[in-house]
Structure 1
Amino acid sequence: MDLQKYFDAPVSRDWQTMNDGTVRFALVGLGWWTTDFVIPAVADSDLCTVTVAVSGSADKAEHVASDVDTLKAAMTYDEFVDGAATESYDAVYIATPNSRHREYAEAAARHGKAVLCEKPMEATVEDAEAMIDACDDAGVTLMVAYRMHTEPMVRLARRVVADGHIGDPRLVQGMNAQPLLEMNGDLDQWRLDPDLTGYGTSVMDLGIYPLNTARFVLDADPVAVQSMMISKHEAFADVPDERATFAVRYDDGTYAACGTSQNAFDTTSLDIVGTNGNLTLKPAFHMETTLTVTTDDGTYESTAESADQMEEEFDYFANQLLAGEKVYADGRHGLLDMRAIAAIHDAADRGETIRL
């Protein structure tokens, strides 16, 4: 089978059906990710604009608003929950600490606004379930922000697997690690606080990438997990997984082995081995992704310039809203990851295989 045609073809938005219309966003949570990545991406997007800034600090919200021409309102979290300026936005993007996602998703649902929520959905399975119920009851769309789903090279990897170019998938190896304390030396940061992050830090924040990206590329779901984890560094005393490894069995019969750590060298990769070849995404989960596919016919590597992942994600979400179509990573998709993450931690505690 000729793989070269896949890599020669220009990267396209195979999901885009709408070219007109604009979805106005309220950004709930104005940390570095929102200010450094989301706001510039939305400014360049085709179907989105930012009109409302929401922060725990009124001064911070006003400061961000003063730098963005399209912003019409700035408010605190309490004002957002109470329904301020609901006429100024159509949808919300939630990028707060995990344990606060539910509160703001429920508020958005009460206000009749669609929700794009950062992964993981929440700090616990129960809170994720409550988010789904709130959005279902209000009849609003809930999507979990897995930016790899709209990354062109990841979408190409999914197509290569679906079209049988590596045969039947057999094994996955995923790795995602970063030196959190070098990136942010504050020991009081929320990713080290179990009340804010959830079951732990490394699997919740980083391990979810290989877990979920493998789901997407394979078009398969996890059905059983095993795990080991440990925390040695004093900064990780309150969370169980300074570093962790976990194994996953997917419902297509593929087995995955994943490693993750918030206290290790910065690296990301995803390898999928099939009966007739293998594909590698490396870097896999950064803002630029490279795809390499190897079969008996040779090795093929992507040469297409990677798109802005946040711009792709926001435009996809807006496209689906404007078209009245379902989103791929809906709340139930995200809930399955939450259940898998809870099971990974349970498996480490019990030393057993946990079935989902």
Structure 2
Amino acid sequence: MALEDYFAAFTERDWEVESVDGAVRIAIVGVGGFARNRALPGIESGTYCETTVLVSGSPDRSADVAESFGVEHVIDYDDFLAGAVEDAYDAVYVATPNALHGEYAVAAAERGKHVICEKPLETTVDDAREIVDACREADVTLMTAYRLQCEPTVRRTRELVRDGVVGDVVQIHGSFSHPLLEHARPDSWRLDDDLAGGGALVDLGVYPLNTTRYLLDCDPVSVYACTHSLDDAFAAVDEHVAFQLTFPTATTASCTASFNAHASSQLQLVGTDGMISISSPFGGIVPHKMVVESGDMRMEYTGEPVDEVREEFDYFGYCVLTGTEPEPDGDDGVADIRVIEAAYESAVQSQSVALDFEYDSR
């Protein structure tokens, strides 16, 4: 296929292979900033999901949000766990602090509800496995909310890699930084290790980690990491992290993340015959600007951004309605947590840690 052919239908939903009717009714569990500003608008503008329930620690404060988006039911966490208005939703979107994901995802699965859960799936491999097992036992769909796997730029990049357009991928460079303290209160749950399960690695580094695994379609065999926390605000979690992944293909991925640096993100893949560079892939709105070099040919593509959150929820809804297993499933979420745990172990030991994914095969 000619290089320009990859850009001819850049935003085409290659996963949408059949027509389906209806919409999956969603209960949003955790009405924080991302749910209000990104998830609710994304669902509203999409096709295959609709929000019918909000689950909030402060239902009174969420009433205006419910009214703005035409959501009929607002309940608190205890009512949700007790089964309130369970006939009003078919699936849940879990957007609570990380350490609480399992409690609400498992409760939903036990009631036969499908689950889309924010990343990381949980804070430990064992807790994440409980979510996977509960959803499997209940025979409901489980999707880890890796929205970049639904985003056109990343999906086209995977096609380029699979087709060998840049030869064998030798190096990957990924980075994501965000000045957390400019946007969060000092008591933010992201600064609490018990609730977050880590810092910059868990919240930001997981983006280049998961995207790299997705693009290469394989898991790393080892990780080497180092972490630093200099500001007192990050005493309980990692402020900065750098980690290197080695894959069985001999590809190495060098990744960095920071909670206390200028907002920036980059992703570059260097192959034996070319290079792919994506501008700002992890910052929330992918600008659809990428450069591909293949041999002597160089091509730049710039297009209108697509709301990857809308794509994510439409993909989830489509999978539920068609009975399709989502690519970013529970096992995908478990795999990233296994790497994260090994990375923190590496940072403590100051040495590379081997990874064995056969443990997670079922």
User: What is the TM-score of this pair, normalised by structure 1?
Assistant: 0.96
Q: Which residue of 2 aligns with 1:6?
A: 6
Q: 1:5-50 CA distances to partner (integer Å, 9 max, x unpaired)?
A: 2123342000013342211100011011011111111111011111
Match of 1:259 among 253, 256, 265: 256
User: How far does residue 295 in structure 1 lie from its aligned partner after superposition?
Assistant: 2.2
Q: 1:301-335 CA distances to partner (integer Å, 9 max, x unpaired)?
A: 22232211011000101111111111111111110
Q: Which residue of 2 aligns with 1:268?
A: 265
- Secondary structure of 2:275's partner? strand
Aligned-partner Cα distance in 2 for 1:153–1:197: 29
More divergent stretch after superposition (113-122 vs 15-24)? 15-24
Q: Which residue of 2 aligns with 1:154?
A: 154
Aligned-partner Cα distance in 2 for 1:31–1:324: 30
Aligned-partner Cα distance in 1 for 2:19–2:35: 25
Matches within 5 A, 1:228-239: 228-239=226-237
The answer to whether the 8 Å contact 1:61/1:75 transfers is no
Aligned-partner Cα distance in 2 for 1:49–1:349: 44
Q: Between the two proteins, what is the percent identity of the paired residues?
A: 43
Q: Which residue of 2 aligns with 1:339?
A: 338
Q: Which amino acid aligns with 2:278?
A: L
The answer to whether the 8 Å contact 1:27/1:92 transfers is yes
Runs ≥4 in structure 1, deviation > 4 angstroms?
none
- Secondary structure of 1:271's partner? strand
The answer to whether the 8 Å contact 2:278/2:291 transfers is yes
Q: Which residue of 1 aligns with 2:186?
A: 187
Q: Which amino acid aligns with 1:51?
A: T
1:61 correspondence with 2:62: yes
- Secondary structure of 2:203's partner? helix
Q: Which residue of 2 aligns with 1:34?
A: 35
Q: Which amino acid aligns with 1:27?
A: I
Aligned-partner Cα distance in 2 for 1:54–1:9: 38
Q: 1:113-139 CA distances to partner (integer Å, 9 max, x unpaired)?
A: 000000011112221111112112212
Q: Which residue of 2 aligns with 1:222?
A: 220
User: How far does residue 175 in structure 1 lie from its aligned partner after superposition?
Assistant: 0.4
Aligned-partner Cα distance in 1 for 2:180–2:43: 27
Aligned-partner Cα distance in 2 for 1:170–1:330: 27
Q: Which residue of 2 aligns with 1:177?
A: 177
Q: Which amino acid aligns with 2:307?
A: D
User: What is the TM-score of this pair, normalised by structure 2?
Assistant: 0.95
Q: Which residue of 2 aligns with 1:165?
A: 165
Q: Which residue of 1 aligns with 2:21?
A: 20
Q: Which amino acid aligns with 1:104?
A: Y
Aligned-partner Cα distance in 1 for 2:22–2:114: 16
User: How far does residue 61 in structure 1 lie from its aligned partner after superposition?
Assistant: 3.2
Q: Which amino acid aligns with 1:325?
A: T
Alpha carbons of structure 1 residues 137 and 9: separation in structure 2 relative to 1, 3 Å:
closer
1:110 correspondence with 2:110: yes
Q: Which residue of 2 aligns with 1:121?
A: 121
Aligned-partner Cα distance in 2 for 1:279–1:96: 35
Q: Which residue of 1 aligns with 2:306?
A: 307
The answer to whether the 8 Å contact 1:26/1:54 transfers is yes
Q: Which amino acid aligns with 2:225?
A: S
Q: Any gaps of 5 or more consecutive residues in structure 1?
A: none
Aligned-partner Cα distance in 2 for 1:300–1:51: 44
- Secondary structure of 2:317's partner? helix
Q: Which amino acid aligns with 1:68?
A: F
1:278 correspondence with 2:279: no
Q: Which residue of 2 aligns with 1:247?
A: 244
Aligned length: 352
Aligned-partner Cα distance in 2 for 1:100–1:325: 27
Aligned-partner Cα distance in 1 for 2:308–2:216: 20
Q: Any gaps of 5 or more consecutive residues in structure 2?
A: 356-362
Q: Which residue of 2 aligns with 1:352?
A: 351
Aligned-partner Cα distance in 2 for 1:143–1:311: 15
Instruction: Give me the CA root mean square deviation.
Output: 1.2
The answer to whether the 8 Å contact 1:19/1:46 transfers is no
- Secondary structure of 1:263's partner? coil
